[in-house]
Amino acid sequence: MRKIGIISIISILGIIFCGCKKNTSDEISLEVIEKHATIKFENDILDFHTVNDGEKVTGSFKFKNTGKTDLVISDVSANCGCTVANYPRGAIKPGEEGLISVTYDSKGSRGMKVQKLVTVLSNTNPSRTVLKIVADVK
């Protein structure tokens, strides 16, 4: 009986030690990181200041591809239907700049200090960049 217990303990320890082996497939190499584009925004907040209820205002987020590979923006979305974004399609070469244009419709927001989020999906690491729109609706 004691022999079975010792064999069980040795087996369990063997399983534990084998399970602790370093998994090198989860490591990210420098080569993989360098293949990602890098996006740098001039500002990540667009302040429309005071707008009148029902007014549509438009502004832009200026950015630059500061990486070593082409930047591709796959989608730009807002957290509500009152904000619409327009963004460049196609590749943005390293060193090139671009604009993400957003239009906010303040209809129905009288008396509110609004904060809307605009999410940019691209081939960067991390792949999501969150921008913010703020306004004081009168």
6-43 confidence digits (pLDDT tens): 565 665 655 555 554 544 444 444 444 566 899 999 99
The CA distance from 80 to 135, in Å, is 15
Q: Does the pLDDT value for residue 94 go beyond 60?
A: yes
Return the percentage of the chain with pLDDT > 90, whole number. 73
Rounded to an integer, the average pLDDT of 67-76 is: 96
Identify whether the C-beta of residue 95 lies closer than 8 Å to the C-beta of residue 77: no
Q: What is the mean pLDDT of the chain?
A: 85
* 3-state helix, strand and coil shares in percent for the chain, rounded to the nearest 5: 20, 45, 35
Q: Does the pLDDT value for residue 137 go beyond 70?
A: yes
Q: Does the pLDDT value for residue 136 go beyond 50?
A: yes
The CA distance from 47 to 132, in Å, is 8
CB-based burial label for 46 (10 Å; 0-12, 13-18, 19+): buried
CB-based burial label for 11 (10 Å; 0-12, 13-18, 19+): exposed
